[in-house]
Amino acid sequence: MLFEVWAPDAARVRLRTGAPAPDPAGRAVPGAGEHGGTDRPMEPDPARPGWWRVSAPAGPGTRYGFVLDDGPVRPDPRSRRQPDGPEGLSAVVGDEGGPRAPWPGRGLAGAVLYELHLGTFTRAGTFDAAAGHLAHLADLGVTHVQLMPLCPFPGRHGWGYDGVAPWAVHEPYGGPAGLRRFVAAAHAHGLGVVLDVVHNHLGPSGNHLPAFGPYFTDRHHTPWGAAVNLDAPGSDEVRDYFVGSALAFLRAYDLDGLRLDAVHALADTRAEHFLARLSAAVDALAAELRRPLFLIAESDRNDPATTAPRERGGLGLHAQWNDDFHHALHTALTGEAQGYYADFARDPLAALAKTLTGGFFHDGTYSAFRGRGHGRRLDAATPAHRLVGYAQTHDQIGNRALGDRLAARLGPERSACAAALVLCGPFTPMLFMGEEWGARTPWQYFTDHPDPQLAAAVRTGRRREFAAHGWAEADIPDPQDPATRERSCLDWDEPRRPDHAWLLEWHRRLIAVRREHLDPALRLGDVSVRTGSTAEGARWLTVRHSTLLVAVNLGDAPADVPELAEGERLATTHRCAGTRLPAHAAVVLKV
């Protein structure tokens, strides 16, 4: 087997191989690799400067690592498996599961996404346990499961955004074989799978990349310290490293797309931005595999270039999260006005109307939260599916002090109004796990750092952050307490209770209406919105697009909405007499 590694500053590199990992029954697995470890000197690759290579006998499960200049043995930067965690040796990965069933893929237009954290979707926190609930998602009508990050991180439980091995899969979840089984099970239910990946930073513990080469640069700084090196000397290989990781996940696991975390933190001054290069590589892979693949960006820039075609100077990503829609909807539902909600809370219905018709609220307007103008206007011809709309995400729940969900504050009726605007609105809708039945379990920030100093720093930082906003430090959950993760696990008994079952059926109905009546080619310019309010407390809004009209009353009094007389009622939360829309009610009509 050929082993390769990029280590441009090393004078000597050795490969260390050990015994293959035992199988689950504890028996030795056949394969090469000497028990106790064997070192082999590696030779420079004459065709690729900075690369080292050597052939050695090895097979699936063989443990190995690299020794640079007589230092400690380190895991492979391109490791596909870390059976003993990020600090342990890497392991050779075989073709677990054998041949895979053909999968035609599921594209983004017409999709309904479902964001899922593997470690709290079930209490077991494994791929196999999560696969047991895929029938629920298929019956709900979602099209794609969007998995939060799966790359290895220290400890067992965490959000996944502190991963340190960008080519591997977290072993406590089930490792590479577990992910393959999960994807195969999802595909058997007709569900696509999207993976959240982090290219803008690595976690604070267990990151061995700096020992191998200039993977980071002080030329730019981010909230996590030195930036990933995308434009300084050595950046060609670093860019290839992260593009290669993305392509490897898409190809090896038959994934349908990737969600890219915080792309605004990718500092890159080169003429071809890293994201343009990545999107070109993914499009080429889609053509090779003959099935659709897509990239969804998380970006706070409100920049149309994010999803504009590369041939028009854009980055060529296929969609981006729309936090402006979330913020407008959140303020309209809750009345909250702190922090970044302040700009939207001045007139929540107007803000909601602007985002539904134009995509961005901040499209060059002044942002009081930022103290400057922000964003640019999207073209009216922009396909609406290029924006992902949601009422909740892992960030918008988990980054609250107590991790409280909307349903815990709004109750089922106003939660149903939010669902109508998300699921029958113009954007690609996304639900956060449990949202479909109004889960009351919180989703809190939790970690499992083995390093006691890092654990203490995270705990203290979290409490100080919210203390600055008036919270008592004692009220902030301890991220390191196992009970914090336990509280965040879904309660799968909830969907069977009456209030939750009603809301679940409402979500199921809305998704069915969307599937039957929404035009996948819908553009932003095809959407129209009307709003109204009364002195009695009614606050209503209608959204018209394709053949659908969505009407919601977010206020505490009934409202007369003339458009309710125009069409066939496809879904309704309340009995509506004529054009009278009750308080906290939603209606979807075919017009």
Q: What average pLDDT does this structure show over 305-323?
A: 97
Write down the pLDDT at residue 393.
Answer: 98
Write down the pLDDT at residue 308.
Answer: 98
Q: List pLDDT tens digits, range 542-568.
A: 999 999 999 999 999 999 999 999 899
Among 414, 425, 416, 363, residue whose Cα is nearest residue 390: 425
Among 287, 256, 282, residue whose Cα is nearest residue 103: 256
261 annotated ligand binder: yes
Q: What confidence tier does 96 reach under pLDDT thresholds 50, 70, 90?
A: low
With 90 as the cut, is the pLDDT of residue 495 above it? yes
325 annotated ligand binder: yes
Write down the pLDDT at residue 221.
Answer: 85
327 annotated ligand binder: yes
Write down the pLDDT at residue 27.
Answer: 43
Choose, from 298, 303, 343, 494, the residue flagged as catalytic.
298
396 annotated ligand binder: yes
Q: What average pLDDT does this structure show over 125-132?
A: 98
Write down the pLDDT at residue 181.
Answer: 97
With 60 as the cut, is the pLDDT of residue 97 above it? no
Among 255, 252, 75, residue whose Cα is nearest residue 164: 75
Write down the pLDDT at residue 473.
Answer: 87
Q: What confidence tier does 19 reach under pLDDT thresholds 50, 70, 90?
A: low
Write down the pLDDT at residue 177.
Answer: 96
* Gyration radius (Cα) of the chain, Å: 25
469 annotated ligand binder: no
User: What's the maximum distance between 2 C-alpha atoms anywhere in the chain?
Assistant: 82
Q: What confidence tier does 225 reach under pLDDT thresholds 50, 70, 90?
A: confident
Q: Is 436 a catalytic residue?
A: no
329 annotated ligand binder: no
Q: Is 311 a catalytic residue?
A: no
3-state secondary structure 489-524: CCCCCHHHCHHHHHHHHHHHHHHHHHHHHCCCCCEH
Write down the pLDDT at residue 223.
Answer: 84
The H or E element that residue 572 is part of is strand 568-572
* Under 8 Å between Cβ of 40 and 14: yes
DSSP 8-class letter at 547 = T
Q: List pLDDT tens digits, range 407-453.
A: 999 999 999 999 999 999 999 999 999 999 999 999 999 999 999 99
Q: What confidence tier does 24 reach under pLDDT thresholds 50, 70, 90?
A: very low
225 annotated ligand binder: no
113-116 and 73-74 beta bridge pairing:
unpaired
When the pLDDT of each residue in the chain is averaged and rounded to a whole number, the result is 94
Q: What average pLDDT does this structure show over 260-271?
A: 97
Write down the pLDDT at residue 31.
Answer: 34
pTM, two decimals, is 0.95
Choose, from 261, 300, 343, 363, the residue flagged as catalytic.
261
Q: What average pLDDT does this structure show over 178-194?
A: 98
With 80 as the cut, is the pLDDT of residue 34 above it? no
With 80 as the cut, is the pLDDT of residue 23 above it? no
Write down the pLDDT at residue 566.
Answer: 87
